[in-house]
Amino acid sequence: MRTDTTFRALRPAALDDLADEGYARRRDHDLARAMNGSAETNTPAEADTGLRRRARGRRPVLLAAGLAAAACAAAGVIVTTGGDSAPAPAAPAAPSGGVLDARSILLAGAETAERAPAEAGRYWYVRSQTRATHEYESDLPGVGLQRPSDGRAGRVREPKKLPYTFVTTGGEESWTARSPRDRTRTVTGIGVKTSFPTPRDKAEWRRAGSPELLSEEDRAPSVNNYDIPIQYQIGNEKLSMDELRRLPVDARRLERELRRRHAADAREAGGRENVDPYPYFVWTTAQDLLAGPITPGTKAALYRVLAGQPGVRADGAVTDDHGRRGTAVSMAGPGGRIRLVIDPRTAELLAYQSFVGEDGDAGLSVTYLRTGWVGSLGERP
């Protein structure tokens, strides 16, 4: 896998370039449209710096730090035991029509999560699949992102749109060692393939000369082993494994910790205008936490924090990319609408979907097929 495009997230070590480049390119396109419509003017150099700074603020995920991040992202969280959680407030009853609002869904998830046993093992295992929709020329192999260079101050060139749309899918597995003395392993590029949403898209692709949609590197599975201790971070602050294990199990304390980290990111970025608003920061961070082995107490606290954020919407019953039914809640923000699909029986995260349009279609989705503790590399729960 190319080291400049691999994911560095707490999710399976590599949501490789299928998702990472697609996200970055869509963000460049969104920013280009916003900046082209702005009355402010900057030099091209200033515009480029601002673009990269704002792009970093769009995705405040938990990131692997150090050599593993530089080589290819090692993924996973090391959290083993839960603490005593605060008494849970009763989830509001469903309205007379029987449809729960977003707050009720999240509070119900909190109650379910805190009843789960606090388990631990030697490795945290995650199997996921990423599906990304591509619409721009820069999504093709060997084509870089557009940068401000047309000589007009404050202008960012619009990415060139392809005459067709194509979709890439690929799987990932990761075994993240609980002990820093054990090896962490990730397998990326599992079953990578391309498809077209409609017959017309495929016909337009052929008319364009049937260009390669994925490079050979993109298509090849890659096994990555890491023999170094792994650090993580929420936003831009690093955490040791022990610190991650001690994330608060009380909603108020967890909210204070997340606000502290958000404020630190804003100071580092030169102001709150250069990072996501706090509710969106929490929402995007939650995806990585919920997909990792956080304690039942922390998961319950996180659901309660999410329930208290403004702008959360209930999207009703949906199915993920593998046909599993769940309950969807979403939030709109500067990076687009992001949806979390939750299994109401277990409070587990089934899928993360971003660039969700009003028609419900997602430009990027990560489906979590299996997670859990195992005792050895190669073992699956």
Q: Which residues pair with 232 in a beta bridge?
A: 64, 239
Tokens linked to 16: 């490789």
Mean pLDDT along residues 334-355: 93
Give pLDDT tens digits for 305-326.
Answer: 999 999 999 999 999 999 999 9
Tokens linked to 116: 């789960």
Dist CA 326 CA 316 (whole Å): 8
Torsion of CA 164, 131, 59, 42, to 10 degrees: -10
Task: Find out whether 363 and 319 touch, Cβ atoms under 8 Å.
Answer: no
Dist CA 241 CA 259 (whole Å): 20
Tokens linked to 11: 């999710």
Q: pLDDT at position 6, please?
A: 24
Q: Measuring CA to CA, which residue among 141, 91, 159 is closest to residue 304?
A: 91
Task: Find out whether 172 and 190 touch, Cβ atoms under 8 Å.
Answer: yes
Dist CA 216 CA 114 (whole Å): 45
Burial of residue 341 (number of CB atoms within 10 Å: 0-12, 13-18, 19+) = buried
SS3 content of the chain, % helix, strand, coil (to 5): 30, 25, 45
Q: Measuring CA to CA, which residue among 226, 128, 238, 244 is closest to residue 177?
A: 226
Dist CA 268 CA 285 (whole Å): 18
Classified as helix, coil or strand, 176 is strand
- The helix or strand, by DSSP H or E, that contains position 283, with its residue range, turns out to be helix 278-290
Q: Measuring CA to CA, which residue among 303, 294, 287 is closest to residue 80?
A: 294
Q: pLDDT at position 55, please?
A: 29
**DSSP designation for 98:** S
What confidence category does residue 302 fall into, taking pLDDT thresholds of 50, 70 and 90? Answer: very high
Dist CA 298 CA 239 (whole Å): 16
Q: pLDDT at position 143, please?
A: 76
Task: Find out whether 286 and 340 touch, Cβ atoms under 8 Å.
Answer: yes
Tokens linked to 367: 């489906």
Question: Higher model confidence: residue 117 or residue 149?
Answer: 117
Dist CA 234 CA 62 (whole Å): 4
Q: pLDDT at position 16, please?
A: 34
Give pLDDT tens digits for 72-104.
Answer: 333 333 222 233 333 333 333 333 334 479 999
Our CA angle for 108, 109, 111, nearest 5°, is 65
Give pLDDT tens digits for 24-46.
Answer: 444 344 333 332 333 333 332 32
Q: Measuring CA to CA, which residue among 136, 227, 168, 141 is closest to residue 15?
A: 168
Looking up tokens 């337009």 gives 204
Q: Measuring CA to CA, which residue among 253, 246, 316, 308 is closest to residue 282?
A: 308
Compute φ and ψ for 56, nearest 5 degrees.
Answer: -65, -35
Question: Higher model confidence: residue 194 or residue 65?
Answer: 194
Residue type, 374: V
Which range, 45-59, 115-129, 135-149, has the best average confidence (pLDDT)?
Answer: 115-129
What confidence category does residue 129 fall into, taking pLDDT thresholds of 50, 70 and 90? Answer: very high
Ramachandran category for residue 274: left, alpha or beta (phi over 0 → left; psi -120 to 50 → alpha): alpha
**DSSP designation for 154:** T
Residues in contact with 223: Cβ distance below 8 Å, sequence separation at least 6, in sequence order: 185, 186, 187
Q: What average pLDDT does the chain have?
A: 75
The pTM assigned to this predicted structure is 0.73
Mean pLDDT along residues 238-267: 90
